[in-house]
Amino acid sequence: MIHFALKNWRQNIIYIGFVLIFLLFALTLNDRGFLNPNNLLNIFRQTAMIAIMAIAMTYVLSAGEIDLSVGAVAGLTTVTVALTISVAGPLAGVAVGLLTGIAVGVCNGWLTTRVGIPSFLTTLAMMGIAKGVAMWISGTSAVPILSRSFAWFFGGGSLGIVPILFFWILIFGVWGHIQLKHTGFGRRVLATGGGETAARYTGINVKNVKFQVLVVSGTAAAIAGMLYAGRLQSGRFQLGEGDELSVIAAAVLGGTSLFGGKGTVIGTIVGALMIGMINNGLILMGLEYSQQLIARGGIIILAVALSQRQ
């Protein structure tokens, strides 16, 4: 009984931690507007792109791989979308944005599964390539997006007081959870990460599974890039820079194993929201940027250590 209770407590540590941190900030920062509805909605706005990429990262990590290129792909997508919209309109911009992410995902998947380069090195190299291409084609300048319909749908709009980004998180969260927990594809992903040899003996094509999750990751990064572009109404190579660290942290914080075979989309979303809430709370505290980095890093290390100890 004690063992079961302890195991159950550890499995739910991310949710317990989220509530405790929320209550801490609510009590200490109430006079600074933490509980203000606009501030709480801003946490969703600031977290949406990380959450969407982290949902896809849950699949990648669960399959025993990693994708370090997501932030750079998001930045590249903002530029390709902005440039395309300026000459061909928003629909063409969306198509080019999706193709950008799919192309990068296919390259990552092919190099990892067919050439045999570890995904850590493949995606690390792709991170540099994507950022370099974005800087090159944009001339390192911001490219404005003048399409109001694109800006509204991809991040800038709202339905009543609820930002459109909330619905993007909701759609991706429901899709990701169902796919991972209730479909054959999700079971193959978890089986591949849990043990490649055993997965092969059961008839699973592990190379195809790994290829597919890397394509999913590239596509999700492209969608996140379009949300960045729509919300800020511009394409900039700097957007998404460093996001790969927050994305991986959100997935692991939510209970996804870095060693594969275990993942949870709901936990990943909560992990992303926790990171956004911590960032927001530390800013409201008035801490210097260097102090924010130290506090945020310490909190995340503690939370991940507790959630990963099974």
Residue 2 has pLDDT above 60, yes or no: no
pLDDT, tens digit, 9 for 90 and up, residues 29-83: 888 888 888 899 889 888 999 999 999 999 999 999 999 999 999 999 999 999 9
pLDDT, tens digit, 9 for 90 and up, residues 95-104: 999 999 999 9
Task: Write down the domain spans for the chain.
Answer: 2-308
Residue 303: its pLDDT value, please? 65
Q: What SS3 state is found at 258?
A: coil
pLDDT, tens digit, 9 for 90 and up, residues 199-257: 898 899 999 999 999 999 999 999 999 999 999 999 999 999 888 988 998 998 888 88
State how far the Cα of 220 lies from the Cα of 231, in Å rounded to an integer. Answer: 16
Average pLDDT, the chain: 89
What is the band of 9 on the pLDDT scale with cuts at 50, 70, 90? low
Mean pLDDT to the nearest integer, 22-31: 88
Residue 283: its pLDDT value, please? 87
Residue 1: its pLDDT value, please? 47
> How are the residues of the chain apportioned to helix, strand and coil, as percentages rounded to the nearest 5?
80, 5, 20
Long-range Cβ pairs for the range 126-130 (8 Å, 24+): 126/68, 126/69, 126/72, 126/73, 127/68, 127/69, 127/71, 127/72, 127/244, 128/72, 129/72, 130/69, 130/72, 130/73, 130/75, 130/76, 130/104
Between β-strands 234-235 and 143-144, what pairing exists: parallel, antiparallel or unpaired? antiparallel
Residue 269 has pLDDT above 80, yes or no: yes
Mean pLDDT to the nearest integer, 291-297: 76
Instruction: Look at residues 265, 264, 295 and name the one whose alpha carbon lies nearest to residue 277.
Output: 295
Residue 89: its pLDDT value, please? 92
What is the band of 5 on the pLDDT scale with cuts at 50, 70, 90? very low
Q: What number of other Cβ atoms are within 10 A of residue 291's Cβ?
A: 12
Say which CATH topology domain 2-308 has.
Answer: ABC transporter involved in vitamin B12 uptake, BtuC (1.10.3470)
Q: Which amino acid is at 17?
A: G
Between β-strands 234-235 and 162-163, what pairing exists: parallel, antiparallel or unpaired? unpaired
Please classify residue 41 by burial: count the beta carbons closer than 10 Å to its beta carbon, then call 0-12 exposed, 13-18 middle and 19+ buried. Answer: middle
